[in-house]
Amino acid sequence: MSTYNPYEEAKKQLKKAINVLNYPDRDSVYARLSVPERILEVAIPVKMDDGTIKVFKGFRSQHNSARGPYKGGIRYHPQVTKEEVIALSMWMTWKCALADIPYGGGKGGVAVDPHQLSPRELEQLSRNYFRAIAPIVSPDIDIPAPDVYTDPQIMAWFFDEYSKYAGYNAFGVVTAKPLELFGSLGRIYSTGYGTAVAAREAAKVAGINLQGATVSIQGYGNAGYYAAKFLHEWGAKIVAVSDTKGTIINWNGLDPDKLHEWKTTKSAKRSVIDYPDAEQRLEGDTTAPLFLNVDILIPAALENQITGENADKVAAKVIAEAANGPTTVEADEILDKRGVIIAPDFQANAGGVIVSYFEWVQNRQGISWTEEEVKRRLEGKIVASFHAMYEAKQKYNVDWRTAAYIVAVDRVVKAMRLRGWL
């Protein structure tokens, strides 16, 4: 059995950043930031289609609100635990702070396998969960969003349930709502676009010209596809892509839109491995893109892919992480010594939460921005966070991920000091 405890890992990362920042009151800072401000555990009864009542366990963790309302997704997964939700809420505090959006960190979850529920049961679970956490959320207090196995339809039910509770149309209480309920344009590609911008900034630092730069991508889902699409638009060549069935390579470049269309239009079950325009097919090899001699690598699948054991085999000069946690701490150190430029996950995949923030801003003003406006502002945020991280890296002489943590933790600590919390 794995002994991995996400909350312990999150606390270790926090401690590391605090130590580098060398605050005189580092124990007090750690004491305040290593625990969430509030965590609510709720029992969610659902009347099942067979007439029985099942009770599911749900959580909402609110880690820190020094910079604004709590912000973070809600996941539905059988393995959701209190520790995981707390760790992820802490991570959201850093992600929002690094992106410099006026939010703290929150996260919610329900221990359930949503695929085992009928649509009616799923709706009742969603409404009853949100009703149960309603006393601690609002557009000014805590603004949930989707995460693993939750989607815009579930956000619409959350919004509706909260609006009934509050007695008005509270559009700003959840984000990533359907466009018909004033979700934001650009949300669909926000993560991949942000990753592409982060990769572009990292490439500049590495002295790589995007025109003709080679890119490989592990995982060709939402994040991987859109990162590929925008990098391709800017002149880069997508030379390798993998999914759960294997890897395809074409050193002349793959067309991201054609590949996406081919993978998704006829059947959701299609794999990149059968795409006609490939020079090489590596069936069953899902990790090959990680080790090709390319300029830019985008891990966009799973956590724990680049480790202490295989980091030496990574040949890319730039890594922009769309996936959460694809690189371990040991691998970070090895890659950093070799001068690889890394845009770490919570910097490079923050596009989703940034556009969530834009949605909330639009909802609160009762306006809708154009797609160009959303893209322009998103680009600005990702560029700014990348360069803040780069400055911290140079100032403190640390690896890229630690530099990102330093910027984020320091922003939160400064806000706490100004408010008299420390």
Q: Whose CB is nearest to ligand NAD?
A: 221
State how far the Cα of 120 lies from the Cα of 115, in Å rounded to an integer: 12
Q: Are 332 and 401 in contact (CB under 8 A)?
A: yes
Q: How many residues bind ligand NAD (CB under 6 A)?
A: 20
Cα separation, 22 vs 209, in Å, equals 37
Does position 302 bind ligand NAD by CB under 6 A?
Answer: yes
Least CB distance to ligand NAD at residue 410 (A): 23
Calculate the alpha carbon distances from 78 to 66, 128, 210, 292 in Å. 32, 17, 42, 36
CA–CA gap between residue 375 and residue 115 (Å, rounded)? 34
Applying CB under 6 A, among 193, 352, 390, 409 the residue interacting with ligand NAD is 352
Using CB under 6 A as the binding rule, whether residue 322 contacts ligand NAD is answered as yes
**Is 169 an interacting residue with respect to ligand NAD (CB under 6 A)?**
no
99 lines the binding site for ligand NAD (CB under 6 A): no
Strand partners of residue 341: 318
> Catalytic residue among 95, 107, 229, 317, which?
107
Applying CB under 6 A, among 42, 298, 301, 412 the residue interacting with ligand NAD is 301
How far, rounded to the nearest angstrom, does the alpha carbon of residue 118 sit from its chain's CA centroid? 28
How many angstroms from the chain centroid is the CA of residue 127? Answer: 25
Q: Does 370 bind ligand NAD (CB under 6 A)?
A: no
Q: Which two tokens stand for residue 374?
A: 């959303």
**Shortest Cβ 81–ligand NAD spacing (Å):** 17
Distance in angstroms (rounded) separating the CA atoms of residues 144 and 36: 16
Strands 341-343 and 318-320: parallel
Q: How far is the CB of 201 from ligand NAD (least distance, A)?
A: 18
Integer angstrom CA distances of residue 229 from 206, 225, 242, 246, 260? 21, 6, 15, 20, 9
Counting contacts by CB under 6 A, is residue 244 touching ligand NAD? yes
Q: Which of 72, 152, 172, 219 binds ligand NAD (CB under 6 A)?
A: 219
- CA dist., res. 422 & res. 410, Å (int): 13
Are the CB atoms for 39 and 82 separated by under 8 Å? yes
- Could you say which of 89, 126, 184, 191 contacts ligand NAD (CB under 6 A)? 191
* Closest among 325, 352, 302 to 96, alpha carbons compared: 352
Tell me: does residue 217 bind ligand NAD (CB under 6 A): no
Nearer residue to ligand NAD within complex by CB, 127 or 229: 229
Question: Which listed residue (80, 132, 223, 389) binds ligand NAD by CB under 6 A?
Answer: 223
Find the shortest distance in angstroms from Cβ 243 to ligand NAD.
Answer: 3
Does residue 115 sit in helix, strand or coil? helix
Is residue 12 part of the annotated active site? The answer reads no
Quick check: 150 binds ligand NAD (CB under 6 A)?
A: no
Task: Tell me which of 160, 243, 336, 359 binds ligand NAD, using CB under 6 A.
Answer: 243
By CB under 6 A, is residue 152 in contact with ligand NAD?
no
Q: Indicate which residues carry an active-site annotation.
A: 107
* Contact footprint for ligand NAD (CB under 6 A): 191, 218-224, 242-244, 286, 300-302, 322-324, 349, 352
